[in-house]
């Protein structure tokens, strides 16, 4: 249950962390998309406004051309009037007696002047209208410039926000790198701790040599139940006690007398195991009694009292939970009936859980 809780907690941590990073990336992509879209739309609007401004400028140029033509026409009319005045003066001087005959001509000239004045007034009105249009165009240009300034301010603000977001992402990356470094450091320290069992097993092999077979994974030793007990019995055979004493005493000495092992030693466990014959509860009771019988005998020996190992020795019945199988996958019933003597290190279960978490991570 502890292992499942730790695994769930670790998985939830990484899932939450992945969701956080995915959320940040999604927000970053949305922000970049919004900025690019705003920039494209703004650029398109500016281009359209520039085209309109160009059209307005062309119209102003045309109006200016017409105005210049009107001014030239006015100049020509002024010249004509001046010429007419010269003619009239000349006629008045030379043809004073013909004043009445020229009255109609003078009237005609007055009419011509009126027409000219009308034309001049019309052109002046047109000129005023063109000036008003020009003023409107200037106002549009001013508005466009204001809009461009506002757009530039928005773009600048977005650039600053983007820069802030990039800095924030960089900070997150630095934090992530520090967390990874801390995790790797912790992984190294935990592996050093979990490697302690391997060191203890190696020390046992060096101390015991060829006297007995040590399990390379657990560091335990096995004694067949056929040697120790009769079929279905839990009382030790007298013939087995001498061998059991020798095996156990050598194993205990290798653990207790080695200071590098003793400081990490937590428990010495005597486990009883049965094969699959019989019910689970029957086998559990039998395996527990056998383990207890072995422990009771071993604690009665002088070396056990010498090292005061009763504080660290415990008996455990495993029933048929840990059967032994042959190469064909069939149960080896004789090998399954056994007594195992093993050691537990301090915090071994915690180290196994942490090592499993690191391997899963």
Write out pLDDT tens, residues 35-61.
888 878 887 777 777 787 787 788 777
Q: How confident is the model at residue 294 (pLDDT cuts 50, 70, 90)?
A: very high
SS3 236: coil
User: Does residue 328 sit in helix, strand or coil?
Assistant: coil
Kindly write down the DSSP assignment for every residue of 203-217, as one continuous string: HHHHHHTTSSPPPTT
Contacts of 326 (CB under 8 A, 6+ apart): 332
What is the rounded average pLDDT of the residues 287-291?
A: 96
Give the pairing of strands 265-273 and 221-224. unpaired
Secondary structure (3-state) at 237 = coil
Q: Break the chain into its structural domains and give their ranges.
A: 2-194, 212-347
324/172 Cα distance (integer angstroms): 52
Give the list of residues 6+ apart from residue 329 with CB closer than 8 angstroms, or none. none
The better pLDDT of the pair 322, 180 is held by 322
Query: Token digits for 103?
Result: 């009255």
Rg (CA), the chain: 55
pLDDT value of position 74: 75
Mean of the per-residue pLDDT values for the chain? 80
pLDDT digits 0-9 by tens, 231-280: 899 999 998 898 888 888 888 888 888 777 788 888 999 999 999 999 99
Whole-Å CA distances, 30 to 26, 34, 157, 165, 188: 6, 6, 16, 12, 40
**101 pLDDT band (50/70/90 cuts)?**
low
What pTM did the predictor assign? 0.47
Residue 99: its pLDDT value, please?
63
* The pLDDT value given to residue 354: 53
Determine what percent of the chain falls in helix, strand and coil, rounding each to the nearest 5.
Answer: 75, 10, 15
Is the pLDDT at 303 greater than 60, yes or no?
yes
Of 199 and 274, more confident: 274
CB 143 within 8 A of CB 46: no
Least confident of 125-139, 171-185, 196-210, 347-361: 347-361
The CA-atom distances, in angstroms, between 55 and each of 58, 59, 172, 283 are: 5, 6, 52, 103
Choose from 8-12, 67-71, 322-326 the range with maximum mean pLDDT. 322-326
What distance in Å separates the CA atoms of residue 228 and residue 241, rounded to the nearest whole number?
8
Q: Are 304 and 298 in contact (CB under 8 A)?
A: yes
Evaluate if residue 353 carries a pLDDT over 60: no
Query: Out of 22-26, 199-203, 351-355, which region has the weakest mean confidence (pLDDT)?
Result: 351-355
pLDDT for 114: 79
Query: Which pLDDT tens digit goes with each residue over 207-245?
Result: 776 777 888 888 898 988 999 999 899 999 998 898 888
- Least-confidence region, from 19-23, 91-95, 155-159, 174-178: 91-95
pLDDT at 291 over 60: yes
Architecture label for domain 212-347: 2-Layer Sandwich (3.30)
Given a contact cutoff of 8 angstroms between Cβ atoms, the answer to whether 354 and 3 are in contact is no
Higher per-residue pLDDT: 305 or 98: 305
What average pLDDT does this structure show over 116-133? 78
Residues 215-248: b if buried by 16+ CB within 10 A, e if exposed: eeeebbbbbebeebbeeeebebeeebeeebbebb
Please indicate whether residue 174 or residue 294 has the higher confidence score (pLDDT).
294
pLDDT at residue 163 above 70?
yes
Q: Where are the alpha helices (DSSP H) in 99-237?
A: 103-194, 196-208, 225-228
Nearest 5 degrees, angle CA 166-CA 170-CA 176?
Answer: 145
Distance CA 51, CA 230 (A): 108
Contact (CB, 8 A) for 358 and 190: yes
DSSP letter string, 46-69: HHHHHHHHHHHHHHHHHHHHHHHH
In the sheet where 265-273 sits, what is the strand order? 221-224, 338-345, 265-273, 313-317
Residue 361 to residue 190: CA distance in whole angstroms:
14
């Amino acid at each position: 249950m502890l292992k499942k809780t730790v695994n769930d907690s670790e998985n939830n941590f990484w899932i939450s962390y992945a969701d956080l990073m995915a959320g940040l990336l999604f927000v970053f992509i949305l922000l970049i998309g919004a900025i690019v879209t705003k920039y494209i739309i703004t650029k398109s609007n500016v281009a359209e406004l520039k085209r309109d401004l160009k059209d307005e400028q062309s119209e102003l140029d045309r109006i200016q051309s017409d105005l210049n033509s009107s001014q030239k026409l006015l100049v020509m009319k002024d010249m004509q009037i001046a010429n007419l005045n010269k003619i009239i003066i000349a006629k008045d001087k030379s043809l004073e007696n013909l004043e009445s005959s020229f009255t109609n001509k003078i009237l005609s000239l007055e009419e011509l002047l009126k027409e000219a004045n009308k034309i001049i007034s019309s052109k002046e009105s047109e000129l005023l209208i063109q000036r008003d249009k020009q003023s409107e165009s200037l106002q549009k240009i001013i508005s466009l410039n204001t809009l461009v300034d506002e757009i530039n301010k928005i773009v600048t603000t977005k650039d600053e926000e983007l820069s802030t977001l990039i800095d924030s992402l960089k900070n997150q990356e630095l934090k992530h790198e520090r967390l990874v470094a801390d995790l790797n450091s912790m992984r190294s320290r935990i592996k050093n701790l979990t490697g302690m069992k391997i060191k203890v097993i190696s020390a046992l092999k060096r101390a015991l040599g060829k006297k007995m077979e040590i399990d390379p994974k657990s560091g335990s030793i096995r004694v067949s139940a056929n040697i120790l007990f009769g079929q279905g019995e839990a009382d030790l055979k007298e013939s087995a006690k001498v061998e059991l004493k020798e095996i156990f005493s050598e194993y205990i000495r290798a653990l207790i007398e080695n200071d590098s092992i003793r400081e990490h030693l937590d428990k010495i466990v005597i486990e009883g195991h049965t094969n699959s014959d019989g019910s689970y509860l029957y086998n559990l009771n039998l395996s527990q009694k056998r383990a207890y019988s072995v422990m009771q005998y071993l604690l009665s020996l002088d070396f056990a009292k010498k090292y005061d190992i009763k504080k660290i020795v415990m008996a455990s019945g495993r029933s048929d939970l840990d059967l032994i199988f042959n190469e064909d996958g069939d149960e080896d019933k004789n090998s399954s009936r056994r007594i195992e003597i093993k050691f537990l290190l301090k915090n071994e279960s915690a180290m196994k859980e942490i090592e499993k978490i690191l391997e899963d991570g």
